[in-house]
Chains A and B, each alone.
Chain A
Amino acid sequence: MGTLGKAIYTVGFWIRETGQALDRLGCRLQGNYYFQEQLSRHRTLMNVFDKAPIVDKDAFVAPSASVIGDVQVGRSSSIWKMKLRMFVWYSVSSMQQMLFGILIINCTSCLKDGTFLQSISIMAFENTSDVPNTADVWKQLCGDVNSISIGSGTNIQDNSLVHVAKSNLSGKVLPMIIGSNVTVGHSAVLHGCTVEDEAFVGMGATLLDGVYVEKHAMVAAGALVRQNTRIPCGEVWGGNPAKFLRKLTEEEMTFISQSALNYTNLAQVHAAENAKSFDEIELETMLRKKFARRDEEYDSMLGVVRETPPELILPDNIIPDKAPKAA
Chain B
Amino acid sequence: MKIMVAVKRVIDYAVKIRVKPDKTGVETSNVKMSMNPFCEIALEEALRIKEAGLASEVIAVSMGPTQCVDTLRTGLAMGADRAIHVDAPATLYPLSVAKILKALVDIEKPGLLILGKQAIDDDCNQTGQMVAGLLKWPQGTFASKVVLDKEKQVATVDREVDGGLETLCLDLPAVITTDLRLNQPRYATLPNIMKAKSKVIKKVTPDELNVEIKSDLELVQVTEPPKRKAGVIVSSVDELIDKLKNDAHVF
Partners in one complex: no
Which residues on B are within 8 Å of A, measured CB to CB?
none
